Amino acid sequence: MAKAYKIAVIPGDGTGPEVIGEAVKVLRAVAARNGFNLDLHNYDFGGERWKRTGETLPDSAVEELRGYDAILLGAIGHPDVAPGILEKGILLKLRFELDQYINLRPVKLYPGAYTPIKDKGPEEIDFVVVRENTEGLYCGAGGFLRKGTPDEVAVQEMIATRKGVERCVRYAFEYARKRNKEKIVTMVGKTNVLTYAQDLWWRCFQEVAKEYPDIKPDYAHVDATCMWMVKNPEWFDVLVTDNMFGDIITDLGAMIQGGMGIAAGGNINPEGVSMFEPIGGSAPKYTGKNVINPLAAICAGGMMLETLGEEKAARQLENAVIKAVSEKLKSLAAGKMGYSTTEVGDMVAEFAATM
């Protein structure tokens, strides 16, 4: 019997369902070609469900999701829901509960894609950000004192644990070895100001680096990294960084690789269940118009295949995306592709089935 992967699909809010529909189309095409099956189960977590039931992500669902091989997620965020409710209640809860401690975000400019950086091309823009995904400012530690009074105090704590940082840094070194490109791991930090959390990071980084004599350890402050990413993106191979820094620099990364329409990421628990998503949001203004670019979701599907061990299928999917980008699409921006969302999905599915 053909191998079957059990995949939980959370289309989510806004354009999430549209892009996930196209990702599933392409995944089915490569699965058929490579002789494995995808056993997909849909979950309706998101803003609409919250509005109907007041429920974000029930604990029982988290338990159920542990039984899957992977999760594919569209987007979380709804214009009618106050910021934080869905993000914390669904997306962050999944990352934390499933201990997806790595957020892996490749920044790769495909031939033909537009980058706003003059004189830089696919040769120069090709690196990977390993973002710590369960700690830092994202823990939700802190609180208010005297809230709503003129003497109000708000504290938001940045948490770094030795274990959390070490497993993330080690993942980055292992990844650089496997990636086998420049073999440089750059810690992106702020050791000059955050003298506790970042001190732990720095000591840990130096210790782990000693175990990888074949990899060059490097360091850049996060603000300087924003500068280098624009000025000399070719300096980077694998970047490893704290949760909040990683969040910020990967939006910049997405822009230099052609925009949110192409940027994908994986929330990875190397020992457990991982979740893959386009890194852009739910794009309410494009919802339901069949204009959003599904390539980021399709690429997230490719990352999922790679993690599942279907490397050949992942490569076919990526080649199909490259062909669409370099030969067909006019732009990667929503509404400017020269094709609709579903047409792009059909095109990539067709390429993926044949090339």
Identity (one letter) of the amino acid at 110? Answer: Y
Q: Is 132 in the site for Mn ion (CB under 5 A)?
A: no
3-state secondary structure of 145: strand
Tell me the two tokens of residue 170: 């080690």
Specify whether the CB–CB gap between 133 and 95 falls below 8 A: yes
The contact pattern for ligand IPM, residues 33-72, with x = CB under 6 A and - = no contact, is: ----------------------------------------
Shortest distance (Å) from residue 83 CB to Mn ion: 13
Q: Which helix (H) or strand (E) holds 347?
A: helix 341-354
The CB-of-108 to Mn ion minimum distance in angstroms stands at 18
Separation in Å, CA 326 to CA 116, 252, 319, 323: 16, 22, 10, 5
Reduced to 3 states, what is the DSSP secondary structure of residue 96? helix
Q: Which of 18, 218, 242, 247 binds Mn ion (CB under 5 A)?
A: 247
Tracing tokens 């490397």 back to the chain, one arrives at 311
| 102 near ligand IPM (CB under 6 A) | no
Q: Which is nearer to Mn ion, 126 or 247 (CB)?
A: 247
The site map against ligand IPM for 268-287 (x = CB under 6 A) is -----------x--------
Structural contact between residues 47 and 74, judged by C-beta atoms closer than 8 angstroms:
no
Pick the stretch among 58-66, 96-104, 231-239, 241-249 that binds Mn ion (CB under 5 A): 241-249
> Is-contact 250 130, C-beta < 8 A?
no
Residues 111-170 that bind ligand IPM (CB under 6 A): none
| For the chain, the helix, strand and coil percentages under 3-state DSSP, each to the nearest 5 | 45, 20, 35
Q: Select from 10, 91, 104, 314 the one that contacts ligand IPM (CB under 6 A).
A: 91
Contacts to ligand IPM from residues 235-254, by CB under 6 A: 247
Q: Is the dihedral of CA 299, 224, 283, 96 positive or negative?
A: positive
Interacting stretch for ligand IPM, rule CB under 6 A, among 5-13, 84-92, 165-173, 188-196?
84-92
Answer yes or no whether residue 208 interacts with ligand IPM by CB under 6 A: no
DSSP state at residue 109: P
Cβ partners under 8 Å of residue 150, min gap 6: none
Q: Which residues bind to Mn ion, rule: CB under 5 A?
A: 247
Q: Which residues bind to ligand IPM, rule: CB under 6 A?
A: 87, 91-92, 247, 279
